[in-house]
Amino acid sequence: MSPAVLSLIIFAVCVVLYIWNKLPVSVVALLGLTAMLLTNVVSFEDGFKSFGSSTVVLIVGMMVVGQAAFDTGLAQLIGDKVIKLAKGNERAIVMLATGLTALISAFLSNIATLAMMISILQGVCSSDKRIHYKNVIMPVGMASVLGGAATLIGSTTQLTAQGIVQEYLGVENGFSFFTFAIPGFLIIAVLVLYAGFIGYPLGKKIWGDSDTYDYIPEADGKKSEVKEPNRKKIPIMATIFILTMVLYMTSDYLSKYIPNLNVGTISIMSALACVITGCIDHKSAMKSINWTVAIWFCASLGIAAGLNKSGGGELLAKGFVGIFGENISVFGLFAVLLILVIFLTQFLSNSTVLTIVLPVAFSITQAMGYNTFGFAVGLTMGGAMAVATPLANTTIGMTMIANYKFSDYLKYCGPMTVIATIILLVLVPILWPLAA
């Protein structure tokens, strides 16, 4: 059996195991990579080279920086101040909370951002009976997910795609920090308007003014505790965070003079600064790193490398083209793949879906001479926008503490998902001509 066929069989088994959801995703990815190694589909060097990539270092470093921002109270302080500007106006609170959550999520952990905002909004709702919990939590949940799609570090979805893009197009052709900024921040602006003028009255019709909630969960299901702001550390943390963003934005220019100054190096520098200045202690920093995500990410990239090196991706691409026909237009292909990604992410992990779809899309677009990078941007953003069901991801699932019904998500978040999809279908081909 040829390596190409073997890679597709192993890939298909991994997809089934992901959907079965009985094994941890990191275990499934490692099983797939190991199988490819043992069947000689991919070499050890190619299979494990992603474990030392700058993207992995970036993920680890930003987990520490993000946790430090919450431990010092910087993120909470910003959120609290802005929410108070609404002065009891429920619609204004919905719009402010939505916009603020989306902006914070663009730079920090989506889950941590939502946990912080839920804590703040619980306090606001309990102190002012004019503010109904269900009316504010759903839009904030959407904002924490959609906001994370606006920058490279907004969520692990983009970082997963970054690794696959670099595998197929080369390290120098990966995403920049603000590649997703124009469509991403436009979607955030539209989301704020949607939350205030469409979602707000829509929510009142869907669930009325009932308010029932439990506690604030985190990723491990435990109750979240928002710490009191440490006013001595907040200015230090704010300085570190601002400098980190500046370095990210100027890294391409600075790397001409400092060769090893990439996003991974900057991320580690920032994490070290947080520990050295006491914004986070060493033990907390180590605990903040989600090694399951890091290992799964690396192993998934190894599987992608196996598909790429063995010719499995190209074989799969030919089969895909055979289904839709070779005469499908470039826009039609983009629309089909984007809608497929957005649909699948409502039920499967965002990053898992991209791990499945991107290698196929890249093989097809490269074979047809299309702009692979443009497809990568659109599909990555589509994969990061899953909000129409509570099963879509851990972040949107956290909003279930407000006791929404499953159908509430489809009714409330569904229209915004359609709007965001239309924005991508229109804007991506303009910014990155697909036929180029």
Backbone angles phi, psi at 223, to 5 degrees: -70, 135
Give tens-digit pLDDT for 200-254: 999 999 987 665 544 333 444 444 455 566 778 999 999 998 898 788 778 778 8
Q: How confident is the model at residue 305 (pLDDT cuts 50, 70, 90)?
A: confident
**For the chain, percent of residues with pLDDT exceeding 90:** 40
DSSP β-bridge partners for residue 223? 217
Give tens-digit pLDDT for 98-142: 999 999 899 887 877 787 787 677 667 766 677 788 999 999 999
Question: Which residues, other chains included, contact 302 with Cβ-Cβ below 8 Å and sequence gap of 6+?
Answer: 29, 33, 36, 42, 46, 47, 48, 50
Q: Tell whether 436 is covered by a domain.
A: no
Q: Tell whether 142 is covered by a domain.
A: yes
Total tally of structural domains belonging to the chain: 1
Q: Tell whether 200 is covered by a domain.
A: yes
Q: State the amino acid at position 80 in one-letter form.
A: D
**pTM recorded for the entire structure:** 0.73
Q: Tell whether 360 is covered by a domain.
A: yes
Closest CA to 98 of 109, 83, 112: 83
Mean pLDDT, residues 3-24 = 87
**Crossing angle of helices 156-169/291-310, nearest 10°?**
30
Q: Which domain holds residue 166?
A: 3-431
Which string of b and e fits 386-396 if b means at least 16 CB within 10 Å?
bbbbbebbebb
| Interatomic CA distance for residues 302 and 299, integer angstroms | 5
Q: Tell whether 305 is covered by a domain.
A: yes
Q: Tell whether 97 is covered by a domain.
A: yes
Q: Tell whether 234 is covered by a domain.
A: yes
